[in-house]
Amino acid sequence: MLTVAIDWVTVGDAGNAPDPATGNLYGRVDDNYRIGRYEVTNDQYAAFLNAVAATDTYSLYDWSMGSNARGGITQSGEPGSFTYVVKPHMGDKPVNFVNWFDAARFANWMHNGQPTGEQVAATTEDGAYTLAGATSGDASARNGGARFSLPTENEWYKAAYYKGGGTSAGYWAYATQSDRFINDPTAVTAGPTGDGSAGSTGNSANYQSSADWNGQDGNVTTVGTNGGPSFYGTFD
């Protein structure tokens, strides 16, 4: 079974100032932390499903993953023997149709060492978050000692937009280290298998339905090919 490896980047400049453009509400983080360089892909999420969702007690799989062109995973079999396969050319695309509770269960699974088995405390229901079967309502608090967890809004915002290099460096308008009206990102295009045109450094982004491969306007593109990195090296 595929082992899921996350490509991490470190976000430093602890105690940075928040973004004045948000009324000083967002962007400040008091500690250094790590965050994934890319979104979780269909390959990674399918490995998770095949490890814990033979029955899929808590609906980690959404049928839109199979039926929608922006989804990347199909489900086969019956409850107790479900299996999951990634669609052609979709393995390196970001997983779609995942809610907060699905993502928290993925984090618990990573925290617990990627075990195989039913969706119980040792696999998906405890670890980074204590879920105990919850599938809706308020998000659970991050447990102390969590080794893998979901970024807070401030952690995500800082990783994307902060200019870095100090605690009062300011923020970019776009997560491609660019600003409005000065160097707006160009619309990314996509090749026949969904690789974006931006490469690793281009100031581009997937907007205005520009990535129209696979018969779907504005389709998802390969992680890391939607535009250049943020200051800390996060993409897309």
User: In the chain, where are the structural domains located?
Assistant: 8-13+35-132
DSSP state of 125: I
The Cβ of residue 216 has, within 10 Å, a number of other Cβ atoms equal to 14
Least confident of 15-19, 71-75, 79-83, 224-228: 224-228
What's the CA gap between 107 and 170, in Å, rounded?
30
Nearest by Cα to 46 from 89, 99, 106, 126: 106
pLDDT score of 210 more than 90: no
- pLDDT (tens digit, 9 = 90+) per residue, 126-138? 999 999 999 999 9
- pLDDT (tens digit, 9 = 90+) per residue, 142-180? 999 999 999 999 999 999 999 999 999 999 999 999 998
Mean pLDDT calculated for residue range 54-74? 96
Cα separation of the two ends of the chain: 28
Q: State residue 30 phi and psi, 5-degree precision.
A: -85, -10
**Model confidence, pTM:** 0.95
Q: Tell me the percentage of the chain whose pLDDT exceeds 90.
A: 81
Provide the token pair at 232. Answer: 């800390």
Mean pLDDT calculated for residue range 210-236? 87
